[in-house]
Amino acid sequence: MRIAVFATKAYDRRFLDLANAGFGHELRYFEPRLDGETAGLAAGHDAVCVFVNDRLDAGTLERLAAIGVRHVALRCAGYNNVDLAAAGRLGIAVVHVPAYSPEAISEFTIGLLLALDRKIHRAWARVRENNFALDGLIGRNLAGRTAGVIGTGRIGALVARTLRLGFGCEVLASDIVEDPALTAIGIRYVPRDALIASSDIVTLHCPLTPDTHHLLNATSLATLRPDTLIVNTSRGALIDTAALIQSLKARRVGGVALDVYEQEADLFFEDLSDQIVEDDIFQRLLTFPNVLVTGHQAFLTEEALTAIATVTLQSLADAEAGRPLAHALGADRIVRAGPAR
């Protein structure tokens, strides 16, 4: 199959090329993201392969359909950037990678939590300036604290198990589907609002849907315990950033670690070190000493990139051969609020 791969970086090419040795697809790489203006680059291709910040709205999909593209392969789990109803209407099949390496993201989540709680990022910056003072670096033990995990799919379940069994936290969970393996080890499922109000740590692991958009907002943030730590490695728009800033200013939040940001499409995955970033909300966020931001790298391990490439190319091989698509997305997923798998 002829595949136009958008928003590519060197690591994408490396792992897709390695995986493609077993499939024989014709891959053509494009650095720009896919949107209405760049859709024409896919002319002559059967499929497009895209990532989290590519924009596949109705207009983009109509342009793709007009030039003969019949397949969209997301090399990620999330699909909130695709108009699935339009894809179905246009006869474009959409597939994703529902589970590549939940360990990669769950481990990074725990790493962010530890760095935030023990102020490792601030200590690292100090030592580079030969400042070895410990003032302002006091953290708290995780053992015995209440951690709330919103979304207990494969990633959230691993985080919950690690916090419960590895660190001795009291763990609360919230999801529309309860995992009996988690309740068996003492994790309690509670309503989302109760979780937010009762936790010392809140970590987010759910997909972005109408139900979860801005689930941490001015109202819910006002119910937090003092000094609550927030970690988000899922989707940026789960948090209302403007409301979060107000909570930080009011000292209601103890610390925030973000690997995602709701307006990240204009920032992440690019080197902007020699440019002026005009996103005032993001720049304000970075001024807080108790905020740690990384650039959507939780997935970035060799194991995850290998799995993403293999599953993506297998789906397109199945499509080419007319086989059933195990990871197809249909219009029924538009408002689905299930766990991130």
Catalytic residue set: 235, 264, 296
How many Å apart are CA 214 and CA 193, to the nearest integer? 13
The distance in angstroms from the start CA to the end CA of the chain is: 28
Residues 6+ apart with CB under 8 A from 136: 119, 122, 289
List Cα–Cα distances, 306 to 33, 97, 341, in angstroms. Answer: 21, 12, 18
**Helix intervals (H) in 152-224:** 154-161, 180-183, 192-198, 218-221
Q: What is the CA radius of gyration of the chain?
A: 21
Q: Tell me the two tokens of residue 237.
A: 């728009």
DSSP symbols for 39-108: GGGGTT-SEEEE-TT--B-HHHHHHHHHTT--EEEESSS--TTB-HHHHHHHT-EEE--S-S-HHHHHHH
How many Å apart are CA 180 and CA 188, to the nearest integer? 10
How many Å apart are CA 5 and CA 47, to the nearest integer? 9
Residues 6+ apart with CB under 8 A from 121: 115, 292
Residue 256: what are its φ and ψ, rounded to 5°? -135, 135
Q: Tell me the two tokens of residue 181.
A: 């393996």
- The helix (run of H) or strand (run of E) holding residue 302 is helix 302-321
How many Å apart are CA 138 and CA 117, to the nearest integer? 9
